[in-house]
Structure 1
Amino acid sequence: MTTRLLHVSDTHLGNRQYGSDTRREDFADAFEQAIEYAIDQDVDAVIHTGDLFDTRDPRLPDLNRCIDILQSLDAADIPFYGIVGNHERKMDDQYLDLIRKTGAAERLDTSPTLINDEVAIYGIDAVTRPAWHAEDFTLDSPPEDVFTILCMHQLLQPPVPEIQAEHPLEDVLDRLNLDLDALALGDYHESVGTVERGTTVWYAGSTERCAVDEDASRSVSLLEIENGELTRRQKELDTRDFETITINFTEDDSYGHAEDEIDRHVVEKKVVLVTVVGESNSVTSSDVRGIVMDRGAAVCCVDDERGGPEIDTSDGPSGDVQNKDRRIEEKLAEKDLSDIAAQIDERVRTEGVAPSGFDDEVEEMVMDAQAEAFDEAAEATPTEVTDE
């Protein structure tokens, strides 16, 4: 018998990318497309390796849309097995547990889930960096002569480039008590793979583009296991195209210059990202966005990097005029904040903070600080601890 699985990952349902409800729908449509492919291929199961949702508190419409999609899979008698990713991870019960109550999904864990009595699937939810070294990777023993797959949501090198990875793949393989046949991963949005110590390791990639530099086709992985051998094929998804445009303005350029530059590109039904550079003039970012949308773009985001006019400050106010950040820092210094509180404050006031990932980032900072404090306490002598 051949066991066929569809590996889906990083669907990020509810992602209102570029502040657009159209993009929110695109993410749901891509997930639905993947599930329809699973039904069309009559797979034995779908496995999802984390970040089903883009946030730990998805909107009710996004949750309902997810359940509707999964119930179509359930109606085809195809089970859906998942783990929890870092974007959606909560401190207590997970939304995947809620969906499980509808009968449309199951959550993988360290006990084997058997498919056709030939494949045993395990799952370990996303592990934060502070908890990584204390995490127990012990898996329950599977039946004999089955193909074993562990699902995780981590950035491991290889196959993730070292500069982007969180942990070495060797660390996982060394700490597991089983010799795995395969490791199905989530969190990295490109489809890449490797083989390490006899274990096939891969990322399915995300089902939609979560960033402009994710320019490869989005896909899911169709897995076929027969006689202990794994064959993996990528299925490309039909997702919305992106178009990037740079407009360089001089001081004298008019509205017509923007139109000419935009008309060099096909923008209809696309996500269009425009960067405006050069000199400031009468053409505004809103003007540029209006031109793009008038030509049928689905979404347009304009990044205006033009320098403002030079201002003669020689007649300005004299004295010790401080910027707002300096004044805030002086006030905070009076409060005698802890190191971690100061770091969080600095992160809050850093430009470019992504709201969707900010909660996770602060949580990791706090947990790092806790872990460091616990380590210091463990290293202290009993007398030192008592004195403190």
Structure 2
Amino acid sequence: MVTRLLHVSDTHLGNRQYGSDVRREDFLDAFEEAIEYAIDQDVDAVIHTGDLFDSRDPRLPDLNRCIDALQRLDDADIPFLGIVGNHERKMDDQYLDLISKTGAAERLDESPRMVNDEVAVYGIDAVTKPAWHAKDFTLDEPLADAYTILCMHQLLHPPVPEIFAEHPLDDVLERVNLDLDALALGDYHETEGTIEDGTRVWYAGSTERCAKDETSPRTVSLLEIEDGDLTRRGKELNSRDFLPIPITFSEDDGREHAENEISRRNVDGKVVLVTVTGESTAVTSRDIREIVIDRGAAVCRVDDQRGGFEFDDEERSLGDIESADRLIEERLAEQNLSEISVEIEERVRTENVARSGFDDEVEEMMMKAQDEAFDSDVAVQTEGDE
């Protein structure tokens, strides 16, 4: 019997990239295209390896569009099996838990979710760098002879280039108690794969471009598993084209120069990324954006590198915030903090909690940790007395 799964990842629903509602719609459209493809292919399940949403608190319209798409999947009797990524991770209940209450999704964990009684799918949510070494990777035993797939949301080398990776792949494979057949990954937005000690490892990539350097086609992965063998095929999605345009100004160049440079390209319906260099002139970023949009571009972002400071409130992005979160986690990982310290720090950074309520929560967390430590000490002393 052939078991067919569709691997989708890093959909980042709600991402208002470059401050554009057009781009927010693009991310939703790409997700819906992936869901329709799963239905057309009559797969046995869809697995999603994290960052379903772009933020910890998605807008209600984005949440509703997501649930509508998943209910179409549920109507086709195709389960949606997911984990939580770093963008959407909250301290307690996740939005994936909320969606699961509708019956349109299931959150994967250390227990096997059997598909066709032949494939066991597991999930481990995104793990912060400070909590990585304390994380328990123990998985429950599957049914005999089941093909095992673990879903994670981490940057692992290989297949991620070492410069971008957070952890070695070997670290996961050594700490998991099962001989995994496959490791389906999210967080890296390109399609990459490798085989390590007999385990198939890959990233499906993101369904939309989240950065200007993500130039390759956006894809989902169709998996076919038969007699213990897995075949993976990429399906290209109809993502919006990105078009970079460099413009260099000399001292005497004006608006006509920008118009001439832009007219040489077909910008219609595209995300246009203009990089401006050279001498400072009277032509502003706003002028260039106006020219590009008037010629039919869907979105225009201008990176003016001519040296002067120019505040542009239409080009704000969450990318810097995400980078800051990762940097904080890297620094905390170097401090060797206790598990309770890491948990409190993450709650401070990720939750919108009123001061009074937060104080109560921290006190409760500290008391619980003290009780657990006391119980552990008593148990050790009792064993010693015996």
TM-score band by shorter chain is 0.7 to 0.9
Q: Secondary structure at the match of 1:97?
A: helix
Change (3 A) 1:156 1:358: closer
The Cα offsets for residues 251-304 of structure 1, whole Å up to 9 and x where unpaired, read as: 211211111000111100000011111111221211111110000000001111
Alignment partner, residue 305 of structure 2: 305
Once the two structures are superposed, the pairs formed by residues 158-173 of structure 1 within 5 Å of their partners are: 158-173=158-173
1:218 alignment partner in structure 2: 218
Cα drift, residue 174 of structure 1: 0.5
The aligned counterpart of 1:23 is 23
Distance 1:375 1:40 in 2: 47
- Matches of 2:242 and 2:318, distance apart in 1: 23
Paired residues of 1:86 and 1:360 also in contact (CA < 8 A): no
Q: Deviations over 1:26-71 (max 9, x none)?
A: 0000000000000000000000000000111111111111111111
Q: Return closer, same or farther for 1:353/1:223 CA change in 2, 3 Å cut-off.
A: closer
Match of 2:322 in 1: 357
Distance 1:191 1:67 in 2: 26
Tell me the residue number matched to 1:176: 176
Cα distance in 2, alignment partners of residues 372 and 142 from structure 1: 34
Tell me if structure 1 keeps the 8 A contact 2:19–2:317. no
**1:139 alignment counterpart:** 139
Give the C-alpha shift of residue 364 in structure 1: 2.5
**Structure 1 segments unaligned to the other structure (5+ residues):** 310-350, 377-388
| Residue 318 of structure 1: aligned partner | none
Greater CA radius of gyration, 1 or 2?
1
The code of the aligned residue for 2:40 comes to D
Q: What is the letter of the counterpart of residue 119 of structure 1?
A: V
State the secondary structure of the residue aligned to 1:372: coil
* Inter-partner Cα distance in structure 2 for 1:308 and 1:356: 24
User: 5 Å matches for 1:54-203?
Assistant: 54-203=54-203
Structure 2 gaps of 5+ residues are 310-315, 342-386
Percent identity reads 73
Deviation (angstroms), 1:361: 3.8
| Change over 3 Å in CA distance of 1:296–1:223 after alignment to 2 | same
Map of 1:366-381 to 2, 5 A cutoff?
367-368=332-333, 371-372=336-337
Mapped to 2, the partners of 1:307 and 1:123 lie a distance apart of 48
Residue type of the alignment partner of 2:265? H
- The code of the aligned residue for 2:158 comes to P
Please give the TM-score of this superposition, normalised by the length of structure 1. Answer: 0.83
The offset of 1:369, in angstroms, is 7.4
What CA distance in whole angstroms lies between the structure 1 residues aligned with 2:329 and 2:60?
27
What is the Cα deviation at residue 360 of structure 1?
Answer: 3.4
1:12 Cα offset (Å): 0.4
SS at match of 1:120: strand
Distance 1:369 1:139 in 2: 27
Q: 1:57 to 1:371 in 2, by over 3 A?
A: farther
Amino acid at match of 1:364: E
The one-letter amino acid paired with 1:20 is S
Cα distance change on mapping 1:90 and 1:278 into 2, 3 Å: same
- Normalising by structure 2, report the TM-score: 0.83
- AA aligned opposite 1:36: E
Structure 1 pair 374–16 and aligned structure 2 pair: CA distance change class (3 A): closer
In 2, the alpha carbon distance for the partners of 1:32 and 1:190 equals 20
